[in-house]
Amino acid sequence: MRILVIGSGAREHALLRALRRDPDVTDLHIAPGNAGTTVLAQAHPVDVADPSAIAALAEQVRPDLVVIGPEVPLVNGAADALRARGVAVFGPSAAAARIEGSKAFAKDVMAAAGVPTARAVAVTDEAGIDAALDACGSPYVVKDDGLAAGKGVVVTEDRAAAAAHARAVLEHGHPVLVEEYLAGPEVSLFAVCDGRVALPLLPAQDFKRVGDGDSGPNTGGMGAYAPLPWAPAGLVDTVQRTVLDPVLAEMSLRGTPFAGLLYAGLVITAAGPKVIEFNCRFGDPETQVVLELLDTPLGKLLAAAAAGGLGDTLLSWRGAAAVTVVIAAENYPGPPVTGDVISGAEGDGILHAGTVRTDDGLVVSAGGRVLSVVGTGSDLAKARESAYALAASVHLRGSHYRTDIALAAAEGRVHVPGTA
Ligand code: AMP
Ligand code: GLY
């Protein structure tokens, strides 16, 4: 099987790594990729935001399957452009990708499907801000209802800061969503979907804030781990029954079946799992740990989903734990410092994101999230040791990473509210 992966992050590097392990995958291509992906796949330049450029590339590469990593091409209709040319693709149509592209659309789908989620009030002008904050209460959750790469959300007890964020988003011409705050640990659950069947992968936990102890602003994700030793019994079955199956049924009913990766961002509240967001693609950095633990051949799985034939596929998992730590450039999540030489970035378990190779063979930083190191072990404590040993072996001037990824879980300090 020849597979073309679209994207350039550590998520795509992890996808390539997992696809390489599949004996049926003989030929891998990546567009545009990064300095780390070239050893696994042949690289092609492409503007990922342009569906017709992706389709033209596919006509040249002639893959058996295209796997689309990021949300932007999906929301722009890359999967539609490929399907229109008869190319098999793992990724939803633009109409189905709205589940990520518009939070208001996602809320509408959840309301129709009876999916538990936070109460939300849409705000379209400044005059509506105060009433929405009053209705939802403190801590205030104020969201930019446009693609914001995980950085458009402010959660704060500071009323003035909440109102200021709402005004700033409106000034950018985006609608605002104010939400009820959900208390409890967060879970990212991915499901491989073929339009009818949703097949959940292992639940993982992401760390969105830039600093240790969940301090500082939100980022695209600073680390992740799986499995979740603290997860309530039957969590995945509950989410399948209350979230995944109803959403797939509702999307089909609307004539826009969801085929691709459905990412449910959940809070495990005292009243059970509730959805805070959906994404229409693999999460970054959770993919780095989830795929590290997957034993089932990935190419065959994604091809089956793309062909609408998941049926009753059963997945197998390594009985191990995985931790990933994101190494970010100086000043991230603000505008990152780029162009610095990275050393120690070769080796198993070091996945690249914002990296490029210069003409003289040096690897230099080219983005906010630069690398994602992945460690595994028989438990989370050992997986942490291995991930942090890798992180310490990388040198990039001014870079930073969190030191507490998976620490609370490894020490048994993550609790679902209302449980002992
Ligand atoms: P989102 O972009 O919607 O995933 O939000 C980013 C982050 O903000 C989430 O991962 C949560 O940490 C936090 N967040 C979003 N919505 C809520 C909510 N309703 N209650 C509590 N935290 C939230
Ligand atoms: N890790 C969060 C995301 O992929 O959106």
Helices (H), 51-125: 51-61, 71-76, 78-84, 94-101, 103-113
Whether 111 is in a domain gets the answer: no
What is residue 240's DSSP assignment?
I
Residue bearing tokens 């097949």: 199
Ligand nearest to the CA of 267: 1
74 and 14 within one domain: yes
Separation of CA 368 and ligand 2 centre (Å): 14
Ligand nearest to the CA of 224: 2
Cβ-contact 91, 55 below 8 angstroms: no
Whether 374 is in a domain gets the answer: no
Domain boundary among 162, 179, 196: 179
- Sheet containing 198-200: give its strands across: 198-200, 186-194, 259-269, 272-279
For residue 7, the domain's CATH number is 3.40.50.20
For residue 153, the domain's CATH number is 3.30.1490.20
Whether 143 is in a domain gets the answer: yes
Separation of CA 177 and ligand 2 centre (Å): 19
Domain that holds residue 147: 120-179
Whether 239 is in a domain gets the answer: no
**Which tokens sit at 181?**
């705050």
* 348 vs 338: CA distance, rounded Å: 24
77 and 26 within one domain: yes
143 and 68 within one domain: no
Domain count along the chain:
2
At residue 134, the pLDDT reads: 96
Which atom of ligand 1 is nearest to 180's Cα? 19
Ligand 1 first shell, C-beta below 6 A: 118, 141, 143, 150, 153, 155, 179, 181-182, 186, 208, 218, 265, 276-277
* 164 vs 334: CA distance, rounded Å: 18
* Regions of the chain where pLDDT drops below 70: 147-151, 420
Length of the chain equals 420
Q: Whose CA is nearest to atom 4 of ligand 2?
A: 283
Q: Whose CA is nearest to atom 10 of ligand 1?
A: 208
Question: Any residues with CB less than 8 A from the CB of 298 and at least 6 apart, and which?
Answer: 15, 18, 19, 21, 22, 25, 291
From the CB of 206, is ligand 2 less than 6 Å away?
A: yes
Report the number of secondary-structure helices (H) and strands (E) in the chain: 14, 22
Torsion 290-295-300-306 (CA) sign:
negative
At residue 367, the pLDDT reads: 97
The residue to mutate among 141, 177, 178, having the most atoms of ligand 1 within 8 angstroms of its beta carbon, is 141
pLDDT tens digits for range 211-222? 999 999 889 999
At residue 39, the pLDDT reads: 94
From the CB of 286, is ligand 2 less than 6 Å away?
A: yes
Whether 60 is in a domain gets the answer: yes
Distances (CA, A) of 66 to 4, 29, 201, 225: 5, 9, 20, 27
Separation of CA 388 and ligand 1 centre (Å): 27
Ligand nearest to the CA of 107: 1
pLDDT tens digits for range 182-218? 999 999 999 999 999 999 999 999 999 999 999 998 8
Cβ-contact 154, 142 below 8 angstroms: yes
- Sheet containing 42-43: give its strands across: 42-43, 27-32, 2-7, 65-68, 89-90
Separation of CA 56 and ligand 1 centre (Å): 37
* 143 vs 161: CA distance, rounded Å: 13
From the CB of 71, is ligand 2 less than 6 Å away?
A: no
135 and 88 within one domain: no
**Is this prediction's pTM over 0.85?**
yes
Q: Is 68 left (phi over 0), alpha (psi -120 to 50) or beta?
A: beta
Separation of CA 59 and ligand 2 centre (Å): 30
The string of DSSP letters for 79-94 reads HHHHHHTT--EES--H
Whether 34 is in a domain gets the answer: yes
At residue 175, the pLDDT reads: 87
Whether 311 is in a domain gets the answer: no
78 and 157 within one domain: no
* 356 vs 341: CA distance, rounded Å: 10
